[in-house]
Amino acid sequence: MKAVEINKTGGPEVLEIKDRSLDKPGPDQVTIEQKAIGLNYIDTYHRSGLYPLKLPIGLGLEGAGVITEVGENVKDFKVGDKISYAGIPLGSYCSHRNYPTKNLVKVPDGIDLEVAATLMTKGFTVFYLLHKTYPVKSGETILFHAAAGGVGQIFGQWAKSLGCTIIGTVGSEEKVNIAKENGYDHVINYNKEDFAKKVLEITDGKGVPVVYDGVGKDTLDGSIECLAIRGMMVSFGNASGPLSDINVPKVIQPKGLYLVRPSMQQYLSTRKELDEASKTMFEKISSGKVKIKIFKKYKLEEVVRAHQDLEGRKILGPAVIVPN
């Protein structure tokens, strides 16, 4: 098998492809022949050291493939099952792997494995953002940053299916069109307009009840400004860098705001939660309410370029690594 590893943190150049032998699956594990691997911005945090890991380690949070062997005690999965997964242990950047069944979900017939691979982190993220962290109500106007990205495209379609009016921010005119194609009612190019001022204009000065922000430090101040009284700031990523220290009496207290920092592990820690999320997500895909268009595919040998493109903001939608 081939696998991508890092022995030190740094730029894309620290990614190495290794030939490794693969043991038999252990108890409660299966062996997966990987058909597609999801490419996510969080992978760059693991590689760079922003999110520290014990080295050496493989990278990648999600993938999809076919089970080729099952270990002891495995009851709900069998050889030949199409599956997808996301979460710990890391190491999806590989051609084959052993993986615990507790994080696996079966992929329904009719859903392509490349789509399933890119859905697991992004789709699950959208699920918990819209249904758990701040459960939106039909008729609400909400704000999402990085609307043209992989998560943003899924978010726009999903939120539209729930009856929301969605404001999205992007960084170029090309991305304005992408966001509009994915359900956003209002799209703001933050390089041309003050997004906070524009949001207040759209909402007649009331602001929005929630801001979903995966960008980080560059959007924090504006996000706080355009929140309504008792609004919620949902900070779930650091694409522009981590948040600096927040002066709670000055920033949070005046409008009685909520600031939360959710992650997927907090919402998908049990089989019941995982099944609920995957059922809801696959239903959105099967019904056509959320459509996934793979923006770009990379070979495993192109992983360095894939990370360069991620950090260069050249990936304008879901992307996958196809290992075989």
Residue 242 in this model has a pLDDT that exceeds 80: no
List, in sequence order, the alpha helices (H) in the chain. Answer: 42-48, 113-128, 150-161, 173-181, 195-202, 220-225, 248-251, 264-267, 271-286, 303-311
pTM, two decimals, is 0.87
pLDDT at residue 115, rounded to an integer:
95
pLDDT at residue 35, rounded to an integer:
98
- For the domain 138-262, what is the CATH superfamily, name and number? NAD(P)-binding Rossmann-like Domain (3.40.50.720)
Average pLDDT for residues 58-82, to the nearest whole number? 97
Residue 250 in this model has a pLDDT that exceeds 90: no
For the segment 130-158, what is each residue's pLDDT rounded down to a tens digit? Answer: 999 999 999 999 999 999 988 999 999 99
Residue 217 in this model has a pLDDT that exceeds 80: no
For the segment 288-324, what is each residue's pLDDT rounded down to a tens digit? Answer: 999 998 999 999 999 999 999 999 988 888 899 999 8
Range list of β-strands (E), 183-249: 186-189, 208-213, 227-235
CATH code assigned to 2-120+292-322: 3.90.180.10
What are the residue boundaries of the structural domains of the chain, listed by start? 2-120+292-322, 138-262
pLDDT at residue 87, rounded to an integer:
86
Report the interhelical angle of 113-128 vs 271-286 (nearest 10°).
120
pLDDT at residue 260, rounded to an integer:
94
pLDDT at residue 13, rounded to an integer:
97
Dist CA 206 CA 286 (whole Å): 36
Residue 240 in this model has a pLDDT that exceeds 90: no
